[in-house]
Structure 1
């Protein structure tokens, strides 16, 4: 595993009024690594992603991407610097086709020329199982295909850091296996991944390390098997009493 750190978070904190949703969380992700994030509903996982992507501003702490300070950058600059993400609820441009949805990040985030962007987006659609829907308006896609499009849009921007927020939810076992294979290919291309997921077997099949949150605080971090044997993780995530 390379030692170069793509993302470093130090003491990240986010409060909404008197409620602390992310509580002094520190971690780092090495280049080419897949970091899984687990935790019960309301643990602060998506809020942590929102702090990384710039959708929310932190109340405390610091973020750096490739050694450069990130916290002051707006979301569009973070995209341009190589952060791509998916959302739990897909957010495509509904009136645009699936292909057109990919052209936006390919040209604005990855800075590809038009002909390069067309070829790249066509390949991403194939990889994500959407080639047959390339000319379908995104708003008329099924929920499953909107989820696929959400992943495709993130990949179209050629991210160096990919944030996946429960992308496996609602997939069949066969579709989940295809997703795991795709994420492995993305990792093998050198993309660093942070993946929030409740489909545990999918996450365990890919993740190099796992970080567990509960009530906004980090309660465990380490190798997947080691973390899942942690009594506190078993108690808060699986409801197993020590």
Structure 2
């Protein structure tokens, strides 16, 4: 691993009983880059995120962030070390306002003062198109606004590594374009991003490289164009026979 690599995985493995969901996966994520993660349903993509965020413990392999092993650190410790993530199903604090939802990671993960956290939360809500709903109860937001809030909560913790799990799902074409623009801005601020996505055009517009999983195994990795021309990727992901 070099100083340019923010996240490194070596032989990462996760089993549930006799089923191996992530199977000896190795990859590096350069600092400030966007790595897209593709694969059919059940390929192990979200489980991989859960291993990185600490929601699950690996059965084998190693994960390093900024050159230091993550070992058995719980999710809150990983947040404090700079890992932020979104979930496929948004998980806001439903009885809190959108603004209050952002104050929690800003103060607890980013360790900001209340005044600084308040200013930062307002800025993130503006970036994510939610400023007008700052005082709305999170549980009463529409699904699309809850998805925006999920991204905003991850950004409020000032992550250096951002895990996006199908954040573009359900968005209109115009909303998807806004999301791509926001993800680019986040990357341009120096945040490293791993992005699981089935909306290919959104992912391909931002990703510097792509990793493809199938039944827990890595089957391809490289530039977006190279990976999408791979015959095995075309077969398992797009149903195109060689």
In angstroms, what is the RMSD of aligned CA positions? 0.8
User: TM-score w.r.t. structure 2 length?
Assistant: 0.99
Whole-angstrom distance in 2 between the partners of 1:145 and 1:4: 35
| Runs of 4 or more above 6 Å deviation | none
* Count of aligned pairs: 241
- 1:194-213 Cα distance to aligned partner (Å, 9 max, x none): 00000000000000000000
Deviation at 1:3, TM superposition (A): 5.8
Q: Which residue of 2 aligns with 1:13?
A: 13
Deviation at 1:233, TM superposition (A): 0.1
Q: Which residue of 2 aligns with 1:133?
A: 133
- 1:18-62 Cα distance to aligned partner (Å, 9 max, x none): 000000000010100000000000000000000000000000000
Whole-angstrom distance in 2 between the partners of 1:72 and 1:114: 30
Partner SS, residue 104 of structure 2: helix
Deviation at 1:72, TM superposition (A): 1.6
Q: Which residue of 2 aligns with 1:71?
A: 71
Partner SS, residue 91 of structure 2: coil
- 1:116-147 Cα distance to aligned partner (Å, 9 max, x none): 10110000000001011100000000000000
Whole-angstrom distance in 2 between the partners of 1:71 and 1:237: 32
Q: Which residue of 2 aligns with 1:162?
A: 162
Unaligned ranges ≥5, structure 2: none
Unaligned ranges ≥5, structure 1: none
Deviation at 1:163, TM superposition (A): 0.1
Deviation at 1:71, TM superposition (A): 2.2
User: TM-score w.r.t. structure 1 length?
Assistant: 0.99
Partner SS, residue 170 of structure 1: coil
Q: Which residue of 2 aligns with 1:190?
A: 190
